[in-house]
Structure 1
Amino acid sequence: MHPSEAPAASPSAALAAAIAGPEPGPGTLDIVIFGGSGDLAFRKLLPALYMAFLHERLEPGTRILGLGRQGWSRADYLAFIDSHSPAFIAPGAFSAPVWQRFLGILDYRCVDATQAADYAVLREPADRVPQRVFYLATAPSLFSQIGAHLDAAGLIDARSRVVLEKPLGTDLASARAINADIGRHFREEQVYRIDHYLGKETVQNLMVLRFGNAIFEPLWRAPYIRSVQITVAESVGVGSRAGFYDGAGALRDMVQNHLLQLLCIVAMEPPISLNPDDVRDEKLRVLRSLRRMELADVRRDTVRGQYTASLGEGPSMRGYREEENVPPDSRTETFVALKAHINNARWAHVPFFLRTGKRMQTRRSEIIVDFTGQPFSIFPNQSGGRPNRLIISLQPEESIQLEMMVKEPGSGMVPRPVKLELDLQSASDKRRAEAYERLLMDVIKGRLTHFMRRDELEAAWTWVEPILDGWKLLGERPRDYRAGTWGPAASSALMAREDLAWFEES
Structure 2
Amino acid sequence: MQTDSSFTFVLFGGTGDLSMRKILPALYEAHRAGGMLADSGKIVAVARHIEDRGEYLQWVNEHVKPHVSKNGLDETAWASFLARIEFAKIDLGNPDDFVLLRDAIKDLPGIRVFYLATGPSLFVPICHALASVGLNANSRIVLEKPLGYDLKSSNAINDAVGEIFAEEQIYRIDHYLGKEPVQNLLALRFGNVLFEPMWRREWVESIQITIAEELGVEARGDFYDNTGALRDMVQNHLLQLLSIVAMEPPHSMDSDSVRDEKLRVLRALKPIDPRDIGKVAVRGQYHSGVIRGTAVPAYATEAGVKPDSATETFVALKVEIENWRWAGVPFFLRTGKRLADRVAEIVVNFRAVPHSALGASALRAGANRLVIRLQPNETIRLYCLAKQPGEGMNLASVHLDLAFDQFFREGQMEAYQLLLLDVINGRLALFVRRDEQEAAWRWVEPILDEWKTSTKPPKPYASGTWGPAAASAMLAQHGTCWLEEEN
User: What aligned pairs does 1:30-41 form with structure 2 within 5 A after superposition?
Assistant: 30-41=8-19
Structure 1 Cα separation of the partners of residues 50 and 380 of structure 2: 49
Structure 1 Cα separation of the partners of residues 105 and 15 of structure 2: 29
Structure 2 Cα separation of the partners of residues 446 and 126 of structure 1: 20
User: What aligned pairs does 1:9-48 form with structure 2 within 5 A after superposition?
Assistant: 28-48=6-26
| Correspondence for 1:474 | 454
State the 1:321 CA deviation: 1.4
State the 1:313 CA deviation: 7.8
Structure 2 letter corresponding to 1:479: K
Structure 2 Cα separation of the partners of residues 312 and 75 of structure 1: 41
1:498 to 468, 478, 481: 478
Structure 1 Cα separation of the partners of residues 106 and 236 of structure 2: 41
1:99-129 CA-partner distances (Å, limit 9, x unpaired): 1221122122121222111111112389725
State the 1:385 CA deviation: 4.3
Structure 1 residues 466-475 or 389-398, which shifts more?
Answer: 466-475
Q: Structure 2: 5+ residue runs without aligned partners? A: none
Structure 1 Cα separation of the partners of residues 179 and 188 of structure 2: 14
Task: Please give the TM-score of this superposition, normalised by the length of structure 2.
Answer: 0.95
State the 1:250 CA deviation: 0.6
2:145 to 163, 166, 190: 166
1:50 aligns with 2:28: yes
| Correspondence for 1:425 | 405
Structure 2 Cα separation of the partners of residues 78 and 423 of structure 1: 38
Identical columns (%): 50
Whether the 8 Å CA contact 1:294–1:470 is kept in 2: the answer is: no
**C-alpha distance 93-184 of structure 1, shift in aligned 2 (>3 A):** farther
1:224 to 188, 203, 208: 203
1:376-398 CA-partner distances (Å, limit 9, x unpaired): 22234447345311111111111
Whether the 8 Å CA contact 1:398–1:425 is kept in 2: the answer is: no
Q: Structure 1: 5+ residue runs without aligned partners? A: 1-26
| Correspondence for 1:353 | 332
2:128 to 127, 133, 148: 148
Structure 1 Cα separation of the partners of residues 359 and 121 of structure 2: 62
1:140-169 CA-partner distances (Å, limit 9, x unpaired): 111111111100111121x20000001111
Structure 2 Cα separation of the partners of residues 385 and 366 of structure 1: 21
**C-alpha distance 117-126 of structure 1, shift in aligned 2 (>3 A):** closer
1:286 aligns with 2:265: yes
State the 1:194 CA deviation: 0.3
Structure 1 letter corresponding to 2:338: R
Whether the 8 Å CA contact 2:248–2:261 is kept in 1: the answer is: yes
Structure 2 Cα separation of the partners of residues 51 and 148 of structure 1: 32
The number of aligned residues is 479
| Correspondence for 2:156 | 177
Question: Secondary structure, in 3 states, of the residue corresponding to 2:401?
Answer: strand
Structure 1 letter corresponding to 2:462: R
**C-alpha distance 190-367 of structure 1, shift in aligned 2 (>3 A):** same
1:427-468 CA-partner distances (Å, limit 9, x unpaired): 321121111010000000000000000101111101011110
Whether the 8 Å CA contact 1:399–1:421 is kept in 2: the answer is: yes
| Correspondence for 2:247 | 268
1:220-271 CA-partner distances (Å, limit 9, x unpaired): 0012100000001111111122221111111111111111111001100000
Structure 1 Cα separation of the partners of residues 106 and 217 of structure 2: 47
Structure 2 letter corresponding to 1:327: K
Whether the 8 Å CA contact 2:362–2:385 is kept in 1: the answer is: no
